Amino acid sequence: MGNSEAVCYLQSLLDRTLRVHTTDRRMFVGTFKCTDADRNIILAETYEYRHPSACVIRETAATITNDSEALEDAGKDQFKVNMTSRLIGLVVVPGQHITRIELEETPNSLLA
């Protein structure tokens, strides 16, 4: 991809919703505003999502084990624990810590 093609592609992502995954397993979902030569990304209206801690997973497993109906519904060794989230607003995600970037597409954007 040439330099001008790369610039055009990045411009097409402006004001679109991105999911940015980082090396510490966090995920940031926000509106793409800009980037720089060091691959840093600025997102606006951003939510931070974190995987549950080991303690929360153990507590959930213990709760499900004690609830026989939930255990039967979920399978013997499977259960679901939600990620925690918080609104953090405007954020700079350092390029060196980014592991994956995903474009969040809505049904309306797929039709366009």
Please, what are the domains in the chain?
14-103 (2.30.30.100)
The pLDDT tens digits for 6-57 are 889 999 999 999 999 999 999 999 999 999 999 999 999 999 999 888 887 8
- 62 pLDDT higher than 90: no
Looking at beta carbons, which pairs linking 33-37 to residues 24 or more positions away fall under 8 Å? 33/90, 35/10, 35/95, 36/95
The pLDDT of residue 77 is 65
Q: Which residues of 48-87 are buried (b: 16+ CB within 10 A; e: fewer)?
A: bbeeeeeeeeeeeeeebeeeeeebeeeeeeebeeeeeeee
> What pTM was computed for the model?
0.75
Q: Which two tokens stand for residue 48?
A: 């931070």
The pLDDT tens digits for 98-109 are 999 999 987 765
CB 18 within 8 A of CB 32: yes
